[in-house]
């Protein structure tokens, strides 16, 4: 008899202990998950978030470093005042067309180049003003928003806007945009004469 058998003669397991031993031997071994397995998914997510953020920052700062592919910045000169309409006409990049007739009592007051648009102001003795604007292109006067809708000025291509405090007439042709703005109310015949006198 060997030592094992002699030892086993002295061990008397109870039936309950024997059952538990057999159950434990029949069950597969459960291994404790490693730390990498447990925290690997969280670490991978964190790496993706940090990497994505870094790449986005690099792309954001290095995109078009020399401004290539971007619209050029808009540069506008400050409004420039002139003593005469001849001086204004000489400074413009387009030929200036002026009204040939004015309402009674109105005379030249000032002229200016405001961001590429000619603005000539006529005034009367009472302090009323009539502004004439001319710009190159059909959209030169874009941005002049009105609270009321315009009415077609008969005999012209102009729309007449009667706003609170002023009245304006606007029209355009294939090359230029035009506008008169008056702080005095004129009758239709005066507006028609003004619009038709632009030469």
Same domain for 110 and 12:
no
Question: Do 22 and 107 sit in the same domain of this protein?
Answer: no
What average pLDDT does the segment 33-46 reach? 78
Residue 128: CB atoms within 10 A of its CB come to 15
What does the pLDDT read at residue 199? 74
Query: Residue 136's domain spans which residues?
Result: 80-196
Average pLDDT over residues 139-162: 80
Give the pLDDT confidence of 2-27 residue by residue, as tens digits: 887 777 777 777 788 788 878 888 88
pLDDT at 67 over 90: no
In a shared domain, residues 43 and 96: no
CA angle 26, 27, 32 (to 5 degrees): 150
What's the confidence (pLDDT) of residue 142? 75
Neighbours of 171 (CB within 10 A): 19
Same domain, 105 and 192: yes
Supply the pTM of this predicted model. Answer: 0.60
- Evaluate whether residue 74 is within a structural domain: no
How many percent of the chain have pLDDT more than 90?
Answer: 36
> Is 106 in the same domain as 181?
yes
How do residues 87-127 score in pLDDT, each as one tens digit?
Answer: 999 999 999 999 999 999 999 999 999 888 999 999 999 99
At 195 the pLDDT is 93
Same domain, 34 and 128: no
Query: With contact defined as beta carbons under 8 Å apart, do 178 and 133 qualify?
Result: yes
Note whether 28 and 87 are same-domain residues.
Answer: no
Is 73 within a domain? no
pLDDT (average), residues 168-188: 91
75 falls within a domain: no
- Asked if residue 73 has pLDDT above 80, the reply is no
Cite the DSSP H helix spans in the chain. 3-10, 15-26, 35-62, 85-91, 188-196
- Predicted pLDDT of residue 74: 62
Q: Give a three-class secondary structure readout of 60-86.
A: HHHCCCCCCCCCCCCCCCCCEEECCHH
Indicate if 56 and 115 belong to the same structural domain.
Answer: no
């Amino acid at each position: 008899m060997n030592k094992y058998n002699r030892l086993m003669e002295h061990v008397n397991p109870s039936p309950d202990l024997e059952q538990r031993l057999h159950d434990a031997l029949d069950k597969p071994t459960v291994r404790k998950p490693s730390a990498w397995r447990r925290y690997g998914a969280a670490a991978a997510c964190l790496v993706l978030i940090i990497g994505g953020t870094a790449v986005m920052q690099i792309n954001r700062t290095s995109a078009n470093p020399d401004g290539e592919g971007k619209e050029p910045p808009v540069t506008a000169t400050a409004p420039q005042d002139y003593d005469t309409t001849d001086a204004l006409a000489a400074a413009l990049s387009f030929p200036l067309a002026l009204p040939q007739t004015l309402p009674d009592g109105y005379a030249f007051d000032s002229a200016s180049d405001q961001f590429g648009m000619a603005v000539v102001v006529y005034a009367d003795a009472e302090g009323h003003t009539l502004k004439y604007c001319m710009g190159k292109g059909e959209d030169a006067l874009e941005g002049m928003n009105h609270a009321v809708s315009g009415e077609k000025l008969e005999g012209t291509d102009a729309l007449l806007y009667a706003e609170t405090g002023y009245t304006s007439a606007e029209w355009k042709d294939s090359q230029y945009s035009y506008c008169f703005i008056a702080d005095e109310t004129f009758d239709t015949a005066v507006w028609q004469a003004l619009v038709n006198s632009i030469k």
